[in-house]
A and B are shown apart, each in its own frame.
Chain A
């Protein structure tokens, strides 16, 4: 079946460090891929998305590239800030039934 696997957290970094959160997926067909972010006490919100192979999604300094050959959608940011502390979810959208399948989430903590 379709699934998303992302690196386990928590991930703790110092401010201005480089961030990578790994995400791989298993899916038939051509899903869209998403990163959602959940700040403390809030619901999830869409961070970025890519709808086809080799597309790059970007937002707020975060980037992720849809790699079909490696079935991956790793999240990167060149210089993290304390305000980036949150839980990050990788997800895929499977075209039948408009459902989105989420990974288990990665908690990110940034030290000042």
Chain B
């Protein structure tokens, strides 16, 4: 089975801190994604990546950046955390085109910014 592992299940940070969320997948997938999940808003795409060192902005990239130095690892960076970034963050991976493949999700990181 494909496994997508997020480094932390719960994280508490202070306003202004730099925050790193790590995600690793073990199935050699080309595509990796970061979503945030908020009640009533569903999942919103922050950034995605098609390949190593490639990145594309999603729908809500402001306040975030990403890094993909290795194929299996995709990091989400909050340069200066703010309270409105308190959310559940979900990492996902996939291979191939969206019509033929499915997203595999990690269990999520619940981030609280105080």
Contact = CB atoms under 8 A, between A and B. Distances in A.
Contacts of B44: 102
B98 interface: yes
> For the side of the interface on A, what is the size category?
20 to 34
A54 to B, nearest CB: 16
A49 B31 CA distance: 19
Contacts of A103: 42
Interface string B43-65: 11100101000001010000000
A89 B39 CA distance: 12
11 contacts: A41-B107, A42-B107, A45-B105, A49-B102, A51-B100, A95-B98, A95-B99, A99-B45, A99-B48, A102-B35, A102-B43
Interface of A: 4, 32, 34, 36, 41-46, 49, 51, 89, 93-95, 97-105
Given A42-B107, A89-B42, A100-B103, 13 more contacts: A36-B103, A43-B4, A45-B104, A45-B105, A49-B102, A89-B43, A94-B98, A97-B48, A98-B97, A101-B45, A102-B35, A104-B42, A105-B42
